[in-house]
Amino acid sequence: MRYYFAFCKGDILLTREGAIPFGESPSFALQPWQVVTTVRVGERECVAIRLDSPILAPEFQMVPLRKTYFMLPADIYQVAGKCAELIYWDQNSRYCGCCGAPMRWHTAISKHCTECGKELWPQLATAIIVRVTRQAPDNPDEEEILLVHANNFKGRHYGLVAGFVETGETLEECVRREVREETGLEVTSIRYFGSQPWPYPCGLMVGFTADYMGGDIHLQRSELGSGGWYKRNALPEIPDKASIARRLIDDWVDRLSPLSHTR
C-alpha cells in the first residue's frame, strides 16, 4: 500500500476528508516525471510527488503543509514534512557542486554525480530555540519567561529566542550567542529539552532551556520588534501547538499546576 504525498509549492494534496491519498495506484493523474523519490517509513511506502499545478477536483483539497498539523495524525504529518524536504532538496541539487554535471538519484535519500561520482545527501539547517526564565524581581517565588516578537513572524504572537547554528559552534555556544545578540542578556544552566524537524523548508529545531544570569534587555531591532519578561498569568499571544516553541512554553506553564488548570 502506497501513500502519495503530492505537493504544489507549499500546499499538499489531501482527500476531501482530510487524509493523505493512498492505494496500490494513485487516485489522481500522475506523470512519471512528477515522482521525485519513494521512501519507506516503517511499513509505509511513501511517494514524494511534485505537482505541476494544483489539483482542483471536488474529491481533493490543497492545504498548506503547516495547517495539516491539526488535520493529520502526528506520524503522518512528520512523513509529509520529510517528503516536502526531499522535494525541496531535489530542486536545489540538480547539478554537481564540484564539476557541474547533472546529479541523479542513487538511493531514496541520496544522489550521485553522473560524471565525477560525488555523493550528496540532504543538508539540514540546524537552529536552536531557547526558553529563558528568571525569578520575578517583585516576587522571588514566581518565575518570568523571556518572550519576543520577531520581525518575520506572521501575526502578533510572541515566541522564544531562536537562531541558526554557525559553522564551528556547539549548540550551547549558539544558545549563548543568540540570546546575547538578540536581547543583550547572559544565560546559564543550558539544558537540552527536545528537537523537532522543521520542514520550512529544511530545518531541525533543537530546543533548550536556560536560566537568566544577568544584563538588561536591549533588543536587536533588525531581528526583533518587541520583547520582555512575562508572568504565567499574563502571557501575550503565543505560537500554535505545531511548534516546539509552544511545547517549551506549555511545559513551563504546566509546572505550576494551579495555573495550568485555569488556562
- For residue 106, tell me if it sits in a domain: no
Show the cell assigned to 3.
Answer: 501513500
Question: Are residues 74 and 133 part of one domain?
Answer: no
In tens, the pLDDT along 31-86 reads 999 999 999 999 899 999 999 999 999 999 999 999 999 999 999 999 999 999 99
Question: Are residues 244 and 131 part of one domain?
Answer: yes
In tens, the pLDDT along 77-136 reads 999 999 999 999 999 999 999 999 999 999 999 999 999 999 999 999 999 999 999 999
In tens, the pLDDT along 189-235 reads 999 999 999 999 999 999 999 999 999 999 999 999 999 999 999 99
- For residue 119, tell me if it sits in a domain: no
Helix, strand, or coil here: 230? strand
Show the cell assigned to 215.
Answer: 544584563
Cα 75 to chain centroid, rounded: 15
Question: Are residues 130 and 84 part of one domain?
Answer: no
Question: Are residues 130 and 88 part of one domain?
Answer: no
Question: Are residues 155 and 75 part of one domain?
Answer: no
Q: What is the CATH number of the domain that holds 234?
A: 3.90.79.10
Could you list the beta-strand ranges (E) of the chain. 2-8, 11-15, 22-23, 35-41, 44-50, 60-64, 103-107, 110-113, 119-120, 125-136, 139-150, 161-164, 186-198, 203-214, 224-231
Question: Residue 141 burial by CB count (10 A; 0-12/13-18/19+): exposed, middle or buried?
Answer: exposed
In tens, the pLDDT along 240-253 reads 999 999 999 999 99
- For residue 253, tell me if it sits in a domain: yes
In tens, the pLDDT along 132-178 reads 999 999 998 899 999 999 999 988 999 999 999 999 999 999 999 99
Q: What is the CATH number of the domain that holds 62?
A: 3.90.79.20
Domain count, the chain: 2
Question: Are residues 69 and 187 part of one domain?
Answer: no
32 backbone dihedrals φ, ψ, rounded to 5°: -55, -40
148 backbone dihedrals φ, ψ, rounded to 5°: -135, 155
Asked if the model's pLDDT at residue 26 lies above 80, the reply is: yes
- For residue 251, tell me if it sits in a domain: yes
- For residue 99, tell me if it sits in a domain: no
Question: Are residues 76 and 140 part of one domain?
Answer: no
- For residue 111, tell me if it sits in a domain: no
* Domain carrying residue 155: 125-260
Choosing from 44, 74, 92, the residue where a domain stops is: 92
Closest CA to 225 of 146, 129, 147, 149: 149
Question: Are residues 162 and 47 part of one domain?
Answer: no
- For residue 105, tell me if it sits in a domain: no
